[in-house]
Amino acid sequence: MPRSERSALLLAGLLATAGVGHFVSPRQFDATIPRALPGAPRTWTYASGVAELALAAGVAVPRTRRVAALATAAFFVGVFPANVQMAVDWRRRPAPQKAAAMARLPLQVPLVLWARSVAKGRKGQS
């Protein structure tokens, strides 16, 4: 299997795993929903889980990969405020949790770049 295909399937797997996580353990995701968003946090949790599953399916299929990977890059940018919310909310938690929340912030950059490289059909991360 070419590296670019492997990279796309790994990205699809990451998205699918995260998407399923929104339904298996929604409470942890609810807590990261920015309070400025209208409606119930659980609605946003489920909506983002559905989006991740749809993006995973699109990235996994070569015919839809380019558009889905670009949408994935946009999605990763769009969920950044939730990561900021988590970092703010967890700043008084024990050091390992605080470190995990802070580590999520710069992690968005390689995720966006990975999705863009998949869209371009490059090797990306594999």
Tokens of 79: 């969920």
**What would the pLDDT profile of 27-63 be if each residue is shown by its tens digit?**
988 988 888 889 999 999 999 999 999 999 999 999 9
**What would the pLDDT profile of 88-108 be if each residue is shown by its tens digit?**
888 898 998 889 889 889 999
**What would the pLDDT profile of 58-84 be if each residue is shown by its tens digit?**
999 999 999 999 999 999 999 898 888
Average pLDDT over residues 4-20: 95
122 — pLDDT class (breaks 50, 70, 90): low
d(CA 126, CA 123) in angstroms, rounded, equals: 7
pLDDT of residue 25: 95
pLDDT of residue 11: 98
Helices (H) and strands (E) in the chain, counts: 6, 0
Q: Do the Cβ atoms of 126 and 98 come closer than 8 Å?
A: no
The alpha-helical segments, DSSP class H, found in 1-126 are 3-24, 26-30, 41-60, 65-78, 80-89, 95-119
Considering Cα of 95, then 96, then 97, then 98, what sign does the dihedral take?
positive
Could you give the count of Cα atoms lying within 13 Å of 68 in the half-sphere of its Cβ?
A: 20
